[in-house]
């Protein structure tokens, strides 16, 4: 048996569950065994992206965990970060131009 963690975060709260799993446990299996879906029913282990310490894993069902790794369950993005930055830059530019026109 090895010790691993499963983590999920919302904007204002996070949950990290420590558990013991078999040495051949996949990231997906650890999420299921943690029962974190009972706490956060919005988690969809079949489709949600997962990672280990900030690095995405392409296939959680085949990624075998190592001792002390943390499986992170990622929420879908609400907005594309590039679009948000572009909008922010356009707004700042418009404000600068308005100031200069005064």
pLDDT tens per residue across span 8-57: 999 899 999 999 999 999 999 999 999 999 999 999 999 999 999 999 99
φ, ψ at 86 (rounded to 5°): -65, -45
Q: What six digits make up the tokens of 62?
A: 């085949």
In b/e form, how buried is each residue of 23-37, taking b as 16+ CB within 10 angstroms? eebbbbbbbebbebe
Closest alpha carbon to 60 in 52, 68, 14, 69? 52
In CATH, the architecture of 2-77 is Roll (3.10)
The domain spans of the chain are 2-77
Distance, C-alpha 77 to centroid of its chain = 10
Looking at per-residue pLDDT, the higher value among 34 and 80 belongs to 34
């Amino acid at each position: 048996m090895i010790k691993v963690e499963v983590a999920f975060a919302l904007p204002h709260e996070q949950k990290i569950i420590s558990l013991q799993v078999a040495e051949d446990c996949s990231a997906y299996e650890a999420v299921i065994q943690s029962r974190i879906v009972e706490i956060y029913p919005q988690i969809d282990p079949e489709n949600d992206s997962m990672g280990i310490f900030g690095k995405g894993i392409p296939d959680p069902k085949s990624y075998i965990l190592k001792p002390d790794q943390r499986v992170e369950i990622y929420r879908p993005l609400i907005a594309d970060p590039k679009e948000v930055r572009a909008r922010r830059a356009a707004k700042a530019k418009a404000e600068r131009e308005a100031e200069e026109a005064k």
